[in-house]
Amino acid sequence: MKRLLPFFIAGALAVSACGSEGDDTATESSVATTAAAVTTTAAAAATTAPVATTTGGTGAVDLTRLAVGDDQFASTATVGKIFTCQSEFNGGGAQAQGPWFNGDGTWDSTAKIAVQGEVQWDAASVKFTLGGDSRLVTANALPDHDTGTFPIAADDPAAAYDRNPNSISEQTISTDLPAVPALAGGASCIRGEVGIATNGVPIYDGFDAGGRDAVAWEVQDACHGHPQQSGQYHYHDVSPCLDDEGEGHSLLAGYAYDGFGIYGLRGEGGVALTNADLDECHGHTHTIDWDGAEVEMYHYHATAEFPYTVSCFRGTSTQGPSAGG
Ligand SMILES: [Zn+2]
Ligand SMILES: [Zn+2]
């Protein structure tokens, strides 16, 4: 599969697949997040994305009939779409639609299967170090929870839809985020890896390597993670295995690569958020607990519907060379 985007971005960007079939052209690793900073602002024109003032949530999402987000990319910040830096998407991902697709452009997240297995990762390591203006993130991308068995075993029912051949391996993540991020003049595009969870697992955007809805198509494990070609375990939405106890606003689930927080599904009052409650980059502004202080600050949220997490950056990204998928 090869998909050309309806807009042209100068300078072809390498694309990496994390999905089942792999892709010979996809060799770019997403490991070094500090190496080539500020790649996300160069490729596409910034647009102004006003901050949403809505802080509550409508919670009105039917989990059995979620719109499949295939090809929902945009060349400017747009609610419900991913403002992507990629000029094209190349293959990879699941090879067949699972029976959780309803056949009418929607899918049933309550019916989706997960990759089997209970693999422990005792070497998991993550550290967030606050110092001056920066938050230094060091991690090896191994999760603090069990994962499924990867490569996906031939006798795993998931193999009928997604033959992910990749193995989970230790990575080297070291990136310096702004401790108190500021809004940039406009939104900037994203490409693959958008942030890191509080447990050190990278968070990718909602696309697979083919520009399809990764959460709908790909079969991840019970914690919503799977490895891409260089072995990096990652999520495409906010993992249900991250601690999000309580009934009010969700807890911090991770940091986007512009330094802003990524929170779970619940907005103020504990109501599940939808795209309609959030701005073009999938965030909003209200008072949150930030490193122990109450501050009014922009932050991203998870939703049950595509694009699931960050869909563009509102701050200045430190994102390095990144993989799609
Ligand atoms: Zn919030
Ligand atoms: Zn993936």
- Asked whether residue 45 is assigned to any structural domain, the reply reads yes
Domain enclosing residue 171, as ranges: 1-54+63-237+316-325
- Asked whether residue 297 is assigned to any structural domain, the reply reads no
In 161-293, alpha helices (H): 214-217
* pLDDT score, position 244: 96
Residue 188 corresponds to which tokens in the numbers above? 């900037």
Separation between Cα atoms, residue 193 and residue 13, nearest integer Å: 14
> From ligand 1's centre to the CA of 268, what distance in Å?
6
> From ligand 2's centre to the CA of 18, what distance in Å?
5
> From ligand 1's centre to the CA of 24, what distance in Å?
40
> From ligand 2's centre to the CA of 218, what distance in Å?
7
> From ligand 1's centre to the CA of 250, what distance in Å?
7
- Asked if residue 198 lies in contact with residue 58, where contact means CB atoms within 8 angstroms, the answer is no
Separation between Cα atoms, residue 250 and residue 232, nearest integer Å: 26
- Asked if residue 300 lies in contact with residue 282, where contact means CB atoms within 8 angstroms, the answer is yes
Q: How far is CA 88 from CA 165, 183, 229, in A?
A: 23, 28, 18
* pLDDT score, position 323: 41
- Asked if residue 234 lies in contact with residue 202, where contact means CB atoms within 8 angstroms, the answer is yes
> From ligand 1's centre to the CA of 51, what distance in Å?
12
Q: Quick one: which ligand is closest to 206's CA?
A: 2
Kindly write down the DSSP assignment for every residue of 271-282, as one continuous string. PBP-GGGS-TTS
- Asked whether residue 246 is assigned to any structural domain, the reply reads no
Helices (H) and strands (E) in the chain, counts: 1, 17
Residues in the 5 Å CB sphere of ion ligand 2: 18, 325
> From ligand 1's centre to the CA of 289, what distance in Å?
10
- Asked whether residue 302 is assigned to any structural domain, the reply reads no
* pLDDT score, position 23: 34
Residue 257 corresponds to which tokens in the numbers above? 């690569």
> From ligand 2's centre to the CA of 185, what distance in Å?
30
Q: Quick one: which ligand is closest to 284's CA?
A: 1
**Cis check: omega of the bond before 151, within 30 degrees of 0:** yes
Separation between Cα atoms, residue 32 and residue 192, nearest integer Å: 13
- Asked whether residue 174 is assigned to any structural domain, the reply reads yes
> From ligand 2's centre to the CA of 95, what distance in Å?
14
Q: Quick one: which ligand is closest to 55's CA?
A: 1
Q: Quick one: which ligand is closest to 283's CA?
A: 1
**Per-residue pLDDT tens digits of the chain, which is 325 residues long:** 445 444 433 333 333 344 433 333 333 333 333 333 333 333 333 333 344 444 456 667 899 999 999 999 999 999 999 999 988 888 778 899 999 999 999 999 999 999 999 999 999 999 999 999 999 999 999 999 999 999 999 999 999 999 999 999 999 999 999 999 999 999 999 999 999 999 999 999 999 999 999 999 999 999 999 999 999 999 999 999 999 999 999 999 999 999 999 999 999 999 999 999 999 999 999 999 999 999 999 999 999 999 999 999 999 987 654 444 4
Q: How many domains does the chain have?
A: 1
- Asked whether residue 213 is assigned to any structural domain, the reply reads yes
Residue 74 corresponds to which tokens in the numbers above? 């945009």
Q: Quick one: which ligand is closest to 57's CA?
A: 1
> From ligand 2's centre to the CA of 243, what distance in Å?
21
- Asked if residue 209 lies in contact with residue 89, where contact means CB atoms within 8 angstroms, the answer is yes
- Asked whether residue 161 is assigned to any structural domain, the reply reads yes
Separation between Cα atoms, residue 270 and residue 289, nearest integer Å: 15
- Asked whether residue 283 is assigned to any structural domain, the reply reads no
* pLDDT score, position 318: 78
> From ligand 1's centre to the CA of 231, what distance in Å?
32
* Phi, psi values for residue 270, rounded to 5°: 80, 10
* pLDDT score, position 124: 96
> From ligand 1's centre to the CA of 195, what distance in Å?
17
Q: Which of 42, 101, 44 is nearest to 78 (CA)?
A: 44
Contacts of 173 (CB under 8 A, 6+ apart): 31, 33, 137, 138, 139, 140, 141, 196, 200, 202
Token look-up 């209970």 returns 118
> From ligand 1's centre to the CA of 266, what distance in Å?
7
Separation between Cα atoms, residue 126 and residue 173, nearest integer Å: 9
* pLDDT score, position 58: 64
- Asked if residue 319 lies in contact with residue 39, where contact means CB atoms within 8 angstroms, the answer is yes
> From ligand 2's centre to the CA of 98, what distance in Å?
17
* pLDDT score, position 178: 97
> From ligand 2's centre to the CA of 251, what distance in Å?
24
Tens digits of per-residue pLDDT, 238-297?
A: 999 999 999 999 999 999 999 999 999 999 999 999 999 999 999 999 999 999 999 999
- Asked if residue 29 lies in contact with residue 93, where contact means CB atoms within 8 angstroms, the answer is no
> From ligand 2's centre to the CA of 53, what distance in Å?
32
